[in-house]
Every structure is written in C-alpha cells, then in structure tokens.
Copies of this chain bind each other. A is one copy, B any other.
C-alpha cells in the first residue's frame, strides 16, 4: 500500500470517529459518580467526564473545597465537600513535590526522596478522603442518588472505597501507579526479563547486568509497595476489615482506562480489561488566540519552540532561567515559554514569557519545531500526536523513565537541568532542529500512534457505558483474583510435586538398598554354609 494511501487514511479515520460520535449519540442516561485526582491527572479525566455529560449521563464530580485545578463547570454537576486542610496547605503540598527539583542534582538516594514525597503528598489527600467518608450527611445523599458506577483515579483510594461502600462497579482512569500497583492488582504479568523497572534506567532490551539490576529492583518494588501504600492499606483495612489491602480493593476495578500507547510504552503482556486511551488529551486542538497566532506566524520558516515544564513547575532559579535566555538569544526560532518566576533581565524579542500556554494547540501548529518539556506523559503524548521533536529535562517522579522512552526512539534528547549550560543547551537546540532525522522519526511515530480504529475518547466512553449497561465487566475478570500469591505462582503445586518426587526417589532408593542387603546377606550365608 502506498504512503499516499496512508496519508489519505488519516482524514478518513477522523471522519469515522466523527460518525461514530454522532451515531452513538446520547443514550439513556446512567448515573456516574466521579472521584478525581487533582492536578494534571484531572485535566485528561475531565475530557471523558465532559463527554459523558454531553451524552446525557447524570455526572456528579466530587470536589474537595481546597483544590488545585478541579473547578465547578457548566458541563457537569459538582458537589463540593469540606476538608480539614486549607487551599494554601494544598498548594504547598503540590509545590513541595516540585520545589526540590532545582536544589540538587539527582542521585541514588532520589528513590527514597521520591517515596517520602509521595507519602507526604498523599497523606494530605487521604485526609480529604476521610473528611468525605466521615461526612454522614453527604454520604447518605450520595447513596440515595443510586449511582450506576464510580469513575475514579486510583492514585487516591477515595473512589474505590466509595464504589465498595455503595456496591457499584468502578472504572479507573490513569496512566499507572507507583511500584506498578495497578498491574499487580489486575494480576497482569510483569516479566522482569524485558519489562524495565521504574528508575532502573533500562529499556526493554537489557544486557545481563541490566537484567540483574532489573530483577533486584523489581523485587525491591514489592517492598516499595508496602512503604508507598502503607497508609492506604491502613485506611482500607479500617473500613473493610484487616485482611483487605489497597491492592485487594482496586483489584475489583471493572475496567482500567490506561493512558497507554505502545508507540510510547514498551510492548508487554496485558489483560482483557485494560483499555488503552493514550493520547486522549491531544485529540482536539483549538485555534490560537490572536496575539499568540500573530507571534507564531511571524516566526517565518525558522518556526517556534514551545517551552514548559508542566502544570506544577513554572518557576526556576533566576540564574538557571538566565541560561535559557542566553541560549534562546542565539537562535533564529521564536520561543513561547511558560514562566512565572522572578523577572528576567534583557529578554530577547524572540522570547515570549507566559503564565499559562495552550500547549496542545501550539504543538499542533505547523511551525512548531521543538518542544522543551519535563517529560510528563500528557506533554509527551501531545508532542507525539503532533510529531514535534523534544528536548527533555526530567525533573521528578516517573519523568526520568518517560524521557528514556522517547530518547530511545530517537525523537528526543535529554539534558539535565542541573548540569545544563548555555552552550550545551544551544548545541542541543541546534542539533534537534537542524538534524532532520528527529523530525522524520517523530512523524513516523506520530503516524503509527494516530492510526487506530477508534479514538481514545470513543474507547473510554464505550467501556464506561459498557460497565453501566452490564453492571461491571465480569466476563473480563481473570480467575487469578481468587488465588493467593503462592497459588497464583503454583508454588504449592510445585512443592507438592517435588515432595512426591523426593518420596518416590527415597522409597526407590531404600527398596534398592534393602534388596541389595538382602541379596548380600543371602550370598554371605550361602558362602558360610558352603
């Protein structure tokens, strides 16, 4: 099939998606209780929530009164509930996650730092969750509404606890949980021989030493799960009895809507109830505001660069920012930079500083030449959808691993925010923009990523409604959920078979020895009698 045919296919696919959308139309409304996770997680879940509401479902989003990005909306109903912490504490908690990133270069102890950050961060959120669960009046109101299902992000336990309390199925929306708890809960095999552990720096192709490291880290992950989710386990066992862990609780999720795409993720074993919606956040791009449109159109053939370090990091130390300014001064491209830090001196004309920028809309512009990003998955998918090469500065959490994915696919380069200099930055910028192979590989990756039979939002809507229609997705639930760890790995069976084997060998050996002795004695008697 010709490349031309392939290009023709994309608009056709768009048409299909549109037709699907129109023809599926709103159906008789179900009742959906949405328990979101704040921050960037909410930004992509909101796309599904809005679409469910548009399709006539009765959608109610639970919003803690101190929240970062979750707001009331005309598109769906919200229920604000009081929490024991203030907006300032909440902002501070989010800021703590990001503030440390400029303090010191990453080192081996970072894993422990990350663990502590995760525990601190989620401890506050769990307080909010407790406030909701102990709010008897609100809980009664919610129960009375007779929801059909819960849509939630299992990064926090509140949604899955509510689903169990109300005895309704849940649909999870996420990219993944620390220590791969999502995969473990869903009984999805994780072969350590070709699935790299988080923070290992490995890809899916490993040398022997890398596989040894990977094995050790995947064993350590089991311990990490206990540490990371210890306070979740404690909360869950308080509500549902001592035997239940958080992993047990979320193992009941009917459908896992995962922001995955194997153009980006390492291909791996999956489970039937995992639905892949990677790129859901970059399906639609809107026209740019007039001032931005003018700025980027004016960039001519040199094009422009989009520079943002995610929803949580828009400041940096002045001297670090100044290094960026000096590099940008020496390139012909224009730069749109999300920056809210201390005022910078002598910012050149080709640089536009902004408090917030329409990242996906900018990346969708044909003059976008480069995306400078921290390597959050939302940004990566937006870069990938729009085939824009990337220069990546991983800051914390899973970003180091994310960056590794893109660099190994030849569509990005990585720089350390700590060891960066103006010269290094300049060299990287020039290299990625001038070496056409980055763009070519980005286009190839993008074409495969966009070539799918159903759009991610359509998949997400279908399976959410499926769960409402059938009160779950029991036919996709593996029987492994009813086995404990020993049974699942057949260790009891193997032990039993080895025991049988040993007994048989022992009995055989003893019998042989007995017979040999018997024969020897007989021989001895015969000799004596002779």
Contact = CB atoms under 8 A, between A and B. Distances in A.
A342 interface: no
A480 B12 CA distance: 35
A23 B19 contact: yes
A16 interface: yes
A220 interface: no
B475 A1 contact: no
Nearest to A482: B205
A12 B29 contact: no
Contact of A487 (B16, B24, B27, B211): B211
Interface in A184-209: 188-189, 191-194, 204-205, 208
A494 B6 CA distance: 46
Nearest to A480: B194
Say how many copies of this protein the assembly contains. Answer: 2
A444 to B, nearest CB: 9
Interface string A447-475: 11001011000110011011011100001
Contacts of A478: 194, 204, 266-269
Contacts of A4: 28
Contact of A462 (B1, B266, B453, B477): B453
A193 B488 contact: yes
Contacts of A488: 191, 193-194
A252 B494 CA distance: 32
A8 B23 CA distance: 12
A492 interface: yes
Interface of A, secondary structure class, is helix
A192 B490 contact: yes
Name the residue in A448, A477, A489 with the highest tally of chain B Cβ atoms < 10 Å from its Cβ.
Answer: A448
Name the residue in A27, A451, A463 with the highest tally of chain B Cβ atoms < 10 Å from its Cβ.
Answer: A27
Contact of A23 (B1, B15, B216, B469): B15
A454 B205 CA distance: 34
A483 interface: yes
Given A193-B487, A468-B1, A208 B493 contact: yes
A410 to B, nearest CB: 13
A27 B8 contact: yes
B453 A497 contact: no
A263 interface: yes
A271 interface: yes
A448 B475 contact: yes
A153 interface: no
A193 B27 CA distance: 41
B477 A448 contact: no
B16 A475 contact: no
Nearest to A18: B23
Contacts of A483: 193-194
Interface in A290-315: none
A165 interface: no
Contact of A9 (B12, B27, B216): B27
B266 A479 contact: yes
A25 interface: yes
A101 to B, nearest CB: 31
A469 B6 contact: yes
A97 to B, nearest CB: 32
Given A5-B28, A208-B493, A494-B215, A267 B272 contact: yes
A262 B493 contact: no
Closest 9 CB pairs of A and B: A5-B28, A1-B30, A204-B479, A1-B468, A194-B479, A453-B462, A189-B189, A19-B19, A6-B469
16 contacts: A1-B465, A1-B468, A8-B27, A9-B465, A16-B23, A19-B20, A188-B269, A192-B490, A193-B487, A263-B475, A266-B478, A267-B476, A268-B478, A448-B470, A448-B475, A451-B469
